[in-house]
């Protein structure tokens, strides 16, 4: 993985550049998460569009989203290089886990919980539903 930086243009938009070649490797966005690709943790990054929604992109294919556009996406999991899963927040502020290869199908029910341990941290194939702390669910294949 190369070294990358985020630079801004005269319109206040930001993009990712390869510091070795100077080549722009992302589109211009309103905001880009500086974890993940920039810190060398993964090949993914989160970008925010002009409406304030966020999506995940891969450095080698900046024109194709890995995720849908969401109200919010957490850097934990896919973007911080820990697993192939990520957490999103919808417009109702509910959260769910998604897999990078299935961006249209949540793996969990929508809720007000955080799923940072377990599958998101890359430590197991399970996640815990914090409201009861007694339900363990495997992620379907």
Measured over all CA atoms, what is the biggest interatomic distance in the chain, rounded to whole angstroms? 52
- Which residues on neighbouring strands pair with residue 8, listed in sequence order? 14
45-94 confidence digits (pLDDT tens): 999 999 999 999 999 999 999 999 999 999 999 999 999 999 999 999 99
- At 54-64, the pLDDT tens digits run 999 999 999 99
pLDDT per residue as tens digits for the range 104-131: 999 888 887 766 777 777 777 766 665 5
Cβ neighbours, 10 Å, residue 50 = 8
> Comparing C-alpha atoms, which of 1, 2, 42, 45 is closest to residue 27?
45
Domain boundaries, the chain: 4-138
User: pTM (2 decimals)?
Assistant: 0.85
Which long-range CB contacts under 8 A does 9-12 form with residues at least 24 apart? none
């Amino acid at each position: 993985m190369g070294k990358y930086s985020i630079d801004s243009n005269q319109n206040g938009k930001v993009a990712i550049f390869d510091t070795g070649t100077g080549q722009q490797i992302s589109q211009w966005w309103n905001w880009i998460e500086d974890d993940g690709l920039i810190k060398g943790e993964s090949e993914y990054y989160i970008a925010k569009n002009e409406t304030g929604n966020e999506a995940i992109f891969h450095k080698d294919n900046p024109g194709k989203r890995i995720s849908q556009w969401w109200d919010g996406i957490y850097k934990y999991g896919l973007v911080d290089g820990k697993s192939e899963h990520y957490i999103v927040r919808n417009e109702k502020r509910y959260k769910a886990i998604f897999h990078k290869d299935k961006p249209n199908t949540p793996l969990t029910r929508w809720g007000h919980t955080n799923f940072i341990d377990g599958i998101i941290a890359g430590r197991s194939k399970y996640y815990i539903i914090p409201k009861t702390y007694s339900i363990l669910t495997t992620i379907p294949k």
